[in-house]
A and B are shown apart, each in its own frame.
Chain A
Amino acid sequence: MEIVMAIVVGILFMTATYLMLSKSLLRIIVGTGLLSHGAHLLILTMGRLKRGSAPLLGEKGPYTDPLPQALILTAIVISFGVTAFFLVLAYRAYKELGTDNIEKMRGNRGNE
Chain B
Amino acid sequence: MRSNNNIILETTIKVVLFIIVLFSVYIFFAGHYYPGGGFIGGLMTSGAIVLLLIAYDIKTVATILPVNYRTMTGIGLLFAIGTSAGSLLFNVPFLTHAFGHIEVPVLGEISLHTATLFDLGVYLVVVGVTMTIIQTIGEDE
Contacts and interface: CB of A to CB of B under 8 A. Distances in A.
A88 B39 contact: no
Consensus secondary structure, chain B interface: helix
Contacts of A87: 133, 137
B136 interface: yes
B133 A85 contact: yes
Contact of A91 (B39, B129, B130, B137): B137
A66 to B, nearest CB: 13
Chain B's interface size range is under 10
Contacts of A77: 39
A88 B136 CA distance: 8
Chain A's interface size range is under 10
A64 B123 CA distance: 28
A95 B136 CA distance: 13
Interface string B98-141: 00000000000000000000000000000001100100110010
A84 B133 contact: yes
Nearest to B40: A73
B137 A81 contact: no
A84 B39 CA distance: 15
Interface string B9-45: 0000000000000000000000000000001000000
Nearest to A95: B140
Interface of B: 39, 129-130, 133, 136-137, 140
